Chains A and B, each alone.
Chain A
């Protein structure tokens, strides 16, 4: 500790504390409140609404610093979505509930069930999270698996499937004996609750990025070697076997007895691994920085709460081989943030509110606020994989002498086992020699060339002595990149979630009647790429459907080579969309 203090003292001497880029302040909480914060959100009028373990929902006016009660009596609420200044949806243990103040007295008088279409065994670990809303108006909620350390109640809600619980070898695992434990569910605007994605253990936090990708975190435990960030896509399986029994058409009995290799081949791997004991032990809500710079230089990136350490983790993602992957880096270490960082929300002024909770594990209570002071930090803006190593892009130009010195960097690689045991050690741990370091002419990009690089590893980079020419030190000296794929590799082809069957069939019919066949075939490259190749390159999203639909109408060249594609202005947009849906469904 002494060394740490000395070093810190030296840094402050060179770069004063008044130059901090972020300031952490603590929000005064009402007297008598056990401030285990289950959720925080902002209302359209700029007030903060928060819910707490003992069932209170309270509203805080940042201007007056006054709290008022909005609703009470909820069962362990852990998620919230604001509808208006008088109405919120709250995810509590038994259901998703609409709270509404209809008589305008400031207190909710309507507690209406929005959905309870999932099972409850009464096990303490059946925490529920969300909802978050997509651009089409669907809501997503996440349901924990149940814990072998707790029991099932004599009366449960939902049918029981015994094979959703425990394996035959006596080793207890998280279970899903009632419907949809371990799932993320989609609630359509029409009110239908649909199973969406499975294989979760304890997905304490879901959220969207700006592009509409849905993410969830999960917690280290059985089948989860280290806590991950998952890119949630319809119909996919994310690793914890219990929930598989609730997959439509599941006929394989107890999923716990399937060989790990079989389960591994079924799962979609995390986009980012948070190395346990290093980066995060219990990550929570992913929140996209939507502040367009009000919160500093990381607009569009994800911030993720961490329970066990006084830290928020920042995540930067990129598409490699058709799938997202990326790096995680500490954020706000040693600046007065407490532990138990369970929920995050941006205020209209671009400051970040953090709700804290321990809930019987590790953490503090209360709410803190983080304000960007406007003094730019020196930090790693992003880390990108290259064919030979990694590029680091810094928020400011760096001092060249230290930045191009290979001794300023040390790299290790390791991965984690996928097995039923609780957690995993770092496997295949090795240091990686750095062959060369190059600095860009603007001094903001550093290219690190490694002796060797393999897919399927976490690359953990430690930096030292990196600073600006003015002597401002690098804020965070540790960053971990999860290299599921190397550039140039294509993503494993997975069965894609289909668009509406009717659209796909009509699209297929339209394509056979068009002149598309002159240049394209479903599975072979003619003049243009095969439909399957297009489907491999573009994720089946509505955004990509629109992009391809426009491409069909306008034509163009460059993406697949220099031979131009003819424009098809005669095909109506609605039809090109159907064609695009058919192509992307392949």
Chain B
């Protein structure tokens, strides 16, 4: 969105040039059926050049229509019915001033015209079936560059009426986590422990993020069958992930204190580990992950450590006869303790019997 604001200022600069230098608008398409430039201003009689580059994955056209006629033109386009495709969904109407036929994804077409001498707000709109209801913007033809406050500009789609300040807030302020403030995330208030399967940086695409009591959270990777990282603070901001097509990652809201080592942590002595994910069960709402390592069943349940300054990983292992080696490479500011076994540098050695049930506590120092 910052880019958009920058574009506005460039347009303002352009307007100061001589009349025969056209105002050039680089128009692209945002996710969710939106022109990226949602409004611009041009002087009456000035030359305008709209370079429309379809950056979306759907076809779009672009019509500039007489003031106040956007909805009527959209309805006419809808009524074209079976004739629509052969005329690029552009209805024959005196209200249509200029138009670009259908532009395919990745295609670019240019529209050049001279702005009307009559001041006014000239809508531009995509009249592809269904799109016209939300995919539009406003060309302000007027001498001065003053535009109404964007938050109450009725000439642009409701979803785009956001002030600069609130955009900044969207990008940096996460107090209410998921973006737009007051709207509830779910029809209930999630109380830790609870979890989301999400796309998140630092894990495979099959990640599970869990919010624990005491402002603790962790990411367990169902692709790798291991704990990837843990953090303290807020939980996740899923606002981008849940918006539109979901081409985004969930954002961690806190400070990461634990990073899973790159090597697989859980090994039966002398055997290269092969892990397979099975699922999880909620035990008093805490997920207990179930996976196999070389055929043995491993159950892992993670809870906050006493006092809330770390986590405890509870393991149960069944169907094995071999001793277990658990790698826990040292990390600055962390202390590892185990309920059983013996430490040899960064390895915890457990007999087959000890490995049936043990826990590892990770404490933030």
Contacts and interface: CB of A to CB of B under 8 A. Distances in A.
B104 interface: yes
Contact of B188 (A32, A111, A339, A422): A32
Contacts of B243: 360
Interface in B174-215: 184-188, 190, 194-199, 203-206, 208
B222 to A, nearest CB: 6
| Residue in A34, A281, A362 with the greatest tally of chain B CB atoms within 10 Å | A362
Contacts of B76: 1
B245 interface: yes
A30 B189 CA distance: 13
Interface residues of A, number: 70
B194 A110 contact: no
Given A55-B197, A121-B205, A359-B245, A4 B79 contact: yes
Given A1-B79, A113-B279, A125-B245, A281 B130 contact: yes
Contact of B206 (A33, A120, A426): A120
A361 B104 CA distance: 16
Interface stretch (B7-15, B84-92, B165-173): B84-92
B279 A33 contact: no
A172 B82 CA distance: 30
Interface string A438-473: 000000000000000000000010100000000000
Nearest to B185: A54
Interface in A345-368: 358-362
A69 interface: yes
B104 A423 contact: yes
A566 interface: no
A482 to B, nearest CB: 15
Nearest to B197: A75
A121 B247 CA distance: 12
A72 B190 contact: yes
The bracket for how many chain B residues form the interface is: 35 or more
Given A54-B186, A69-B187, A277 B281 contact: no
Nearest to A126: B205
Interface in A155-177: 155-157, 171-172
A47 B32 CA distance: 33
B199 A73 contact: no
B86 A426 contact: yes
B242 A124 contact: no
Contacts of B222: 94-95, 113, 116
Contacts of B58: 361
B59 interface: yes
B293 to A, nearest CB: 15
A423 to B, nearest CB: 6
Interface in A180-234: 221
Contacts of A358: 32
Interface in A94-153: 94-95, 97-98, 108-113, 116, 120-122, 124-125, 147, 149-150, 153
A56 interface: yes
A69 to B, nearest CB: 6
A24 B82 CA distance: 26
Contacts of A97: 279
Interface of B: 31-33, 55-59, 72, 75-76, 79, 81-82, 84-86, 89, 104-106, 128-131, 134, 184-188, 190, 194-199, 203-206, 208, 222-223, 238, 242-248, 277-283, 287, 290
19 contacts: A31-B187, A32-B184, A33-B186, A53-B242, A54-B238, A72-B186, A73-B196, A74-B197, A112-B290, A113-B222, A113-B277, A120-B206, A156-B205, A278-B82, A359-B244, A359-B246, A362-B130, A422-B57, A425-B86
Instruction: In the A-B complex, list the 8 residue pairs whose CB atoms are closest, starting with the nearest.
Output: A360-B244, A32-B184, A360-B245, A124-B247, A112-B279, A75-B197, A30-B187, A94-B206
Given A278-B81, A422-B104, 17 more contacts: A32-B184, A33-B187, A75-B197, A75-B199, A110-B279, A112-B278, A112-B290, A113-B222, A120-B206, A277-B85, A277-B89, A281-B129, A308-B129, A308-B130, A339-B130, A425-B86, A478-B81
Interface of A: 1, 4, 30-34, 53-56, 58, 67, 69, 72-76, 92-95, 97-98, 108-113, 116, 120-122, 124-125, 147, 149-150, 153, 155-157, 171-172, 221, 275-278, 281, 308-309, 339, 358-362, 412, 421-423, 425-426, 429, 460, 462, 478
